Amino acid sequence: MDIKSTTTAADIAAHLRERILAGEFAPGARMHQVQLSEMLGISRTPIREALGQLANQGLLVYEPNRGYAVRTFSLAEIEAAFEVRARLEALACGLCARHGLEPAVLARLRACLALGDRILAKGQLEPEDLAPYRAMNVEFHETLLTRSGNAFLGDFVRQCHNVPLASDRVFVWEDHGVIARSHDDHHRILHAIEMRDAERAEALMREHVRFAGFVLMRMLSGTHAEGHRRSA
């Protein structure tokens, strides 16, 4: 369970981050420094630095003289994270539409849409298609964030993105209808960007993220069945 020999604090943080998001460290679990240092074969100093980074990224909580623990996110916090994401990704989208995107970037986004189309055209989501679709989805959103020209958006959205991942790992986006609807959003969003319609692109992305949040909340809470209204 040791990591590669060239270990810097950032590497350790990334390593632990993966394992936390994978659910290997349960929410609320204490992150003992000596235990981790023995587990990874590294001294406590870089471990501490990595834990501090993760705490500042919001994945761990820290109490003085009591150490770090995996942060637990309430349902309300997950909802709050999606609310913020919706606004920030909408802003990124609007910025992209406003100042326009380079042809190469647009081509890459269109390629994302085409891949999603191919996967969804089967009418059913094969298990082996899940990872490619997720990667495509990440690239689509990340591209808009980075190409918005506003560096804060990406940083904050990534922090928000961790929240549901760290809370519970019992959700899979396997519902074909939900994904198809979400992917249709992508089409309309990119179209609005190409048309340089910032207002529309912004509104579409906001609802797109809010819809994802709604679906996730429904999966996590299990009972909320109230419909999610979408504006055209």
Partner DNA sequence: TCGACAATAAATGTATCCAAAATAAAAAAA
Partner DNA sequence: TTTTTTTATTTTGGATACATTTATTGTCGA
Per CB under 8 A, residues contacting a copy of itself are 8-10, 45, 48-49, 52-53, 56-58, 64, 76-77, 80-81, 83-84, 87-88, 90-91, 149-153, 155-156, 159-160
List own/partner pairs for 33-37 with CB under 8 A and 24 or more apart. Answer: 33/67
Distance CA 221, CA 90 (A): 26
Min. distance of Cβ 43 from DNA in angstroms?
Answer: 3
If one asks whether residue 64 binds DNA (CB under 7 A), the answer comes out as: yes
Given a contact cutoff of 8 angstroms between Cβ atoms, the answer to whether 68 and 60 are in contact is yes
Partner from DNA, a copy of itself, none binding residue 109, C-beta < 5-8 Å depending on class: none
SS3 61: strand
Rule CB under 7 A: is residue 5 a binding residue for DNA?
no
DSSP secondary-structure letter at 60?
E
CB of 26 to DNA, least distance (A): 16
Report whether 221 contacts 75 (CB < 8 A).
Answer: yes
Q: Which residues face 60 on adjacent strands?
A: 70
User: Which partner in DNA, a copy of itself, none is near 80 (CB below 5 to 8 A by kind)?
Assistant: a copy of itself
Contact status, residue 87 vs residue 206, Cβ threshold 8 Å:
yes
Residue closer to a copy of itself (CB basis): 83 or 142: 83
Closest CA to 70 of 24, 12, 101: 24
Q: Which of 18, 19, 22, 34 binds DNA (CB under 7 A)?
A: 34
**If binding is defined by CB under 7 A, does position 68 make contact with DNA?**
yes
**Which of DNA, a copy of itself, none sits in contact with 39, Cβ below 5 to 8 A by type?**
none
